[in-house]
Amino acid sequence: TTVADRLRTDRPVFSVEFMPPRDEADEALLWRAVRELEGMDPAFVSVTYGAGGSSRDRTIRTTGRMATETTLVPMAHLTAVDHSVAELRNVIGWYAAHGIRNVLALRGDPPGDPNGPWVQHPQGLNYAYELVELLRSLGDFCVGVAAFPYGHPAAADAEADIDNLLRKFDAGADFAICQLFFEPEDFLRFRDRVAARGCDKLLIPGIMPLTTPKMLAKTVELSGAPLPDRLAARLQPLAEDAKAFRAEGIDVITETSRRLLAEGVTDLHFYTFNRSKATREVVGRLGLVPARA
């Protein structure tokens, strides 16, 4: 089954992102979260791809296990960082051999300092659209790419970054998952700007459950945008009260999600950090759980 198949639905769904486990304890946590979410039938589950060798092996193994041991539809992230084209072909071939049909094609961040300068592998690729082309040339993959509601930090400007997104779609990408944002209107305006360029591909919003001040800081870091005053006023006074912060953060994310669904968004992609509780709570409040007989 492909992600595109799973997203061809007339009622909204959710999907989740996991990270490769760092050690055995982490692996146990991850698989607990996987099992807890499995019954809620997410549209797909993705596993991020790290900068180093062993974490990459764990991404590959974890995705393979999801494909063979669960009812979930897995999607493997893959990046061009530190890979020759021959190595990329190997990884892609392994995915194909293990029944993984969905890949999120990314350039990846430079190892070490994610905001440092990009360095292309001498036998590697320079941009994500080239990885999309490679995947397309190697098999019948369903390919996703990254999109940036506030623009990618290295892009010349916001329009040039949309040019790049369109280049990735032209290369054969089926859908894009968006980097974190704070206000639903920010995502919706971005979606309008992409649509205004004549593109009707699916843009999936990325959702971070704001359960702790750390997750909030992570959202500021990843989105590349400052925390809006409106949300600062709601969340920052609760920074010392873990329980109150969590409750308010879940409220914020539920409201954001409701607004997106009201505007016709058909999939919400949750960053889980290998925990399922917050996602289950928000998804339950939104009523997205498929009513299984």
Residues labelled as active-site residues: 17
- Determine, following the binding rule CB under 6 A, whether residue 274 of this chain makes contact with ligand FAD: no
Q: Per the structure block, which two tokens stand in for 77?
A: 């992230």
Query: Toward ligand FAD, which CB reaches closer, 55 or 254?
Result: 55
- Determine, following the binding rule CB under 6 A, whether residue 109 of this chain makes contact with ligand FAD: yes
Cα separation, 232 vs 251, in Å, equals 14
- Determine, following the binding rule CB under 6 A, whether residue 31 of this chain makes contact with ligand FAD: no
Cα separation, 94 vs 83, in Å, equals 15
175-178/142-147 β-pairing: parallel
- Determine, following the binding rule CB under 6 A, whether residue 107 of this chain makes contact with ligand FAD: yes
Cα separation, 228 vs 285, in Å, equals 24
Outline where the chain has alpha helix (H).
3-7, 24-38, 53-69, 85-97, 128-138, 158-170, 184-196, 213-223, 229-235, 242-262, 277-286
Q: For residue 3, which of 43, 55, 49 has the smallest C-alpha distance?
A: 43
Query: Toward ligand FAD, which CB reaches closer, 210 or 248?
Result: 210
Q: Which stretch binds ligand FAD (CB under 6 A): 60-68, 90-98, 159-167, 223-231?
A: 159-167
Q: Which stretch binds ligand FAD (CB under 6 A): 2-10, 104-112, 213-221, 232-240?
A: 104-112
CB of 242 to ligand FAD, least distance (A): 28
Q: Which residue in the set 15, 63, 102, 164 belongs to the binding site for ligand FAD (CB under 6 A)?
A: 164
- Determine, following the binding rule CB under 6 A, whether residue 279 of this chain makes contact with ligand FAD: no
Cα separation, 73 vs 81, in Å, equals 25
CB of 93 to ligand FAD, least distance (A): 19
Cα separation, 246 vs 65, in Å, equals 32
AA identity, residue 85: V
Query: Toward ligand FAD, which CB reaches closer, 19 or 248?
Result: 19
Query: Toward ligand FAD, which CB reaches closer, 90 or 120?
Result: 120
- Determine, following the binding rule CB under 6 A, whether residue 49 of this chain makes contact with ligand FAD: yes
Task: Reduce the DSSP state of residue 182 to 3 states and report it.
Answer: coil
Helices 184-196 and 158-170 cross at an angle (nearest 10°) of 60
Greatest alpha-carbon pair distance for the chain in Å reads: 54
Partners of residue 78 on adjacent β-strands: 105
Query: Toward ligand FAD, which CB reaches closer, 48 or 289?
Result: 48
CB of 160 to ligand FAD, least distance (A): 6
Q: Which residue in the set 56, 58, 77, 191 belongs to the binding site for ligand FAD (CB under 6 A)?
A: 77
CB of 232 to ligand FAD, least distance (A): 24
- Determine, following the binding rule CB under 6 A, whether residue 60 of this chain makes contact with ligand FAD: no
Cα separation, 26 vs 19, in Å, equals 10
- Determine, following the binding rule CB under 6 A, whether residue 271 of this chain makes contact with ligand FAD: no
CB of 202 to ligand FAD, least distance (A): 13
Give the footprint of ligand FAD on this chain (CB under 6 A): 48-49, 77, 79, 106-109, 127-128, 146, 152, 154-155, 160-161, 164, 168, 177, 179, 206
